[in-house]
Structure 1
């Protein structure tokens, strides 16, 4: 027979057994549980990503039409570019004074009948720039069948005699061209000086010639082209011969730079003179005298 105290203890024991906490050996580490859950989720996520099928790109009807439109436009451009309408028929040359149109075209390497779209204008300009006589060249297509060439020439200032003919020389004494015979170029001949072993692109290094070239370079164009010859055989008695058979006595070669205005003034008087002029004496700086023919 149990007393009340025993009954109470029994209930406590039963309750304790029913709600007995897990022992140390039976316990599951909470960290292991968390780790298992995390690894399980990650594994599932990676596995799912590996087996997920890539999305297919859908080509729409409008996309196909755009591609076909681009191809059609490209084919149309090719057909137009190769059309006989764009065959080169005319080459227009501008800015040349000393070089002929035919010579400019020859230097460019362009041939009539070529397709205008197939002409590389940059390459044409580079080819023309290699010619010492051309300072600058600009080439443009002029649709439908023309090509425009604009040039800036290196201006020849004088012609001098050499061992095999005649040379055109420009600023700085650069040889711009060579001729076997005296050519009809509207620049004066400088006599009294002769060079040898010079060719196109070389520089004539002669002090007296350099003084004459500097003088001619500073004259206005009208006066420079009115001079037929400058004789410097005697550096102290330079003679200038005008196109109208007028002799201009210039004095010392070193004084030429001081007589630019006198030379231009004499040129105007020679053109306006009503009576033939025999010679003009400009040996003294600042003044000159005119001797008329009898």
Structure 2
């Protein structure tokens, strides 16, 4: 009976072993995947050849690429879009940015710049100020920019990222941000040497006499309307005076009024 019991015993399970053929297939699959990844990453077909930048007005494409830390010839799949976006938004001149790849060789960048409203002289050269008075750029020599130059003042101890503390400059920036960009581009200079006799100059050297920075909203509206109409003026204008509630426009070659005694 014992022999019969032994013969009827359930055979033990053998240790599970993978088929050598299945193991070989798995290794082959991994090798193929690695080869595909290597082709995508290192193939000349997928290297960066074009950079498209949308939304830049003041920064050039080359400057944007330098800020983003990308360069032509870089493997496209080694480029991390999140890292590129962080590089861009760390620059004070850029408010927001998004980056995406376009197969097989392109990166497209959509960005919004912080808009400089005016340039002013400083200890080491010039600075660009945005609407809030933040310094968003600094340079040693004056650049040709389609924004007004504030003259009659030198700002001290101001560097990129700092905020303006000059009261008159702050008032001028508030005045300028109330004017639309098209009209603003027609102002070349604002002289604030005397805060009570501030004068703006158009790109055609027409004076806009503002006086002090009281009645900012009214003077900004008058200035914008004047700049928009100036392009279509029939007669050359010498200056416009907005210091008083009744604006006055003087034409060139207008005879002087001599007061009688």
TM-score normalised per structure 2 = 0.84
What is aligned with 1:119? 79
User: What is the number of residues matched between the two proteins?
Assistant: 245
Unpaired stretches in structure 1, ≥5 consecutive residues: 1-47
3-state secondary structure, aligned to 2:208: strand
**Structure 1: distance between partners of 2:124 and 2:30:** 63
What is aligned with 2:190? 230
Greater helix percent: which structure? 1
3-state secondary structure, aligned to 1:254: coil
What is aligned with 2:257? none
Q: Is the 8 A contact 2:40 2:77 kept in 1?
A: no
What is aligned with 2:247? 288
TM-score normalised per structure 1 = 0.76
**Structure 2: distance between partners of 1:106 and 1:227:** 31
What per-residue deviation string (whole Å, max 9, x for no partner) do you get for residues 162-213 of structure 1? 1221111112211111121221111101122221121111111111111111
Larger Rg: 1
TM-superposed deviation, 1:289: 2.4
What per-residue deviation string (whole Å, max 9, x for no partner) do you get for residues 67-96 of structure 1? 755653453343233221001111112111
**Structure 2: distance between partners of 1:83 and 1:164:** 47
3-state secondary structure, aligned to 1:209: helix
**Structure 2: distance between partners of 1:237 and 1:246:** 16
3-state secondary structure, aligned to 1:173: coil
Match among 39, 58, 73 for residue 98 of structure 1: 58
Unpaired stretches in structure 2, ≥5 consecutive residues: 1-8, 254-261
RMSD: 2.4
What is aligned with 2:40? 80
3-state secondary structure, aligned to 2:132: helix
Q: Is the 8 A contact 1:90 1:146 kept in 2?
A: yes
What is aligned with 1:149? 109
**Structure 1: distance between partners of 2:198 and 2:217:** 13
